[in-house]
Amino acid sequence: MDKILLSAKNVSSCYSGREALHNVSAELKGGRITAIIGPNGSGKSTFLKTLIGIVPKKEGEIFSEGRNTDGMSAPEIARRIAYLPQMKSVPDLTVRTMVLHGRFSHLSYPRRYRKEDMEAVERAMETVGISEYAEKNVSSLSGGTVQLVFLAMALAQNSSVILMDEPTSFLDISHQLNLMKLCGSLAAEGKAVTAVLHDIPLALKYADDIIVLSGGKAVASGTASQVYKSGILNAVFNAEIKEAASESGIIYYCQ
């Protein structure tokens, strides 16, 4: 059994009194890629933000490796859970300096980087394939490469859970596939790799588990094949999603 690294139990949250997430329960397991899918405005970003406490929860409980996250400090949560937001402002920093920011939660004030911090940074840049840009200013890079810099920063955090909000946006198809393969190797290291994905066929093909949100509620969850077979996706997305056999196994497409 894959270990549950992060779980939400009956979690609700709201913006200015208006509920955006209603009674959501979910489990994110180590060794697996979990995709969060749902129409625009269904609460996907809110769900990730609630898990790490950027959006405070109104009800329910969140457990990180069995421990309630209530009362955990922000650095402690960051050492356990890395988060890549959907909207990112591009900083005026070199790639290496930015990736180094992923180490903040491991340092006490005043910040002094240790050898292990520098090593974690080099390793993270190498893993996502951006070492050659280490000295470049982030603002000079293409949108797809910037996305990888954010991912490297999250990896440098060395957490067992990674939450990514639409990491494939701005990536062309070959970089999207590379990213999904990279997610696979991170999961193989035992991490709980979690991504909001808007490409349903991509999610069905690459994710082990899927959580479907609609109107702020988790309307389905299970393995990709269970969720596909339940037929709920057609209703939720108002589209016909189909599967077909291919040389590389089952593929999915929308009609």
Question: Using the rule CB under 5 A, which residue among 7, 13, 34, 45 binds Mg ion?
Answer: 45
Q: Which two tokens stand for residue 127?
A: 């893993």
Report the 10 Å Cβ neighbour count for 15. 10
Q: Beta-carbon neighbour count of residue 197 at 10 Å?
A: 25
Half-sphere exposure of 164 (CA within 13 A, CB side): 30
Find the part of the chain contacting Mg ion (CB under 5 A) among 39-47, 55-63, 120-128, 174-182. Answer: 39-47
Q: How far apart are CA 77 and CA 85, in angstroms?
A: 16
Residue 11's binding partner among ligand ADP, Mg ion, none (Cβ under 5 to 8 angstroms by kind) is: none
DSSP string, 8-53: EEEEEEEETTEEEEEEEEEEEETTEEEEEE-STTSSHHHHHHHHHT
What is the Cα–Cα distance from 107 to 179, expressed in whole angstroms?
Answer: 29
User: Which positions ≥6 away from 82 have C-beta within 8 Å?
Assistant: 102, 154, 155, 157, 159, 161, 162, 163
Least distance to ligand ADP, CB of residue 236, Å: 12
Q: Give the one entry of Mg ion, ligand ADP, none that residue 167 binds, where binding means its C-beta sits below a cut-off of 5 to 8 angstroms depending on kind.
A: none
Nearer Cβ to ligand ADP, position 54 or 254?
A: 54
Q: Find the part of the chain contacting Mg ion (CB under 5 A) among 28-36, 70-78, 86-94, 109-117.
A: 86-94
> CB under 6 A: which stretch of 27-35, 43-51, 113-121, 204-212 binds ligand ADP?
43-51
From the number of C-beta atoms within 10 Å of its C-beta (0-12, 13-18, 19+), residue 135 rates as exposed
Q: How far is the CB of 49 from Mg ion (least distance, A)?
A: 9
User: Does the protein bind ligand ADP through residue 89 (CB under 6 A)?
Assistant: no
**Residue that the structure tokens 């290496």 belong to:** 96
Q: Which part of the chain contacts ligand ADP (CB under 6 A), choosing from 39-47, 97-105, 112-120, 186-194?
A: 39-47
Token pair for 110:
């005043």
| Smaller CB separation from Mg ion, 45 or 221 | 45
Q: Are strands 18-29 and 209-214 parallel, antiparallel or unpaired?
A: unpaired
In the complex, least distance from residue 195 CB atom to ligand ADP, rounded to whole angstroms: 12
Q: Does 168 bind Mg ion (CB under 5 A)?
A: no
Stretch that binds ligand ADP, among 42-50, 90-98, 129-137, 222-230 (CB under 6 A): 42-50
Q: Which of residues 44-63 bind ligand ADP (CB under 6 A)?
A: 44-46
Binding site for ligand ADP (CB under 6 A): 15, 20, 38, 40-46
Binding site for Mg ion (CB under 5 A): 44-45, 86
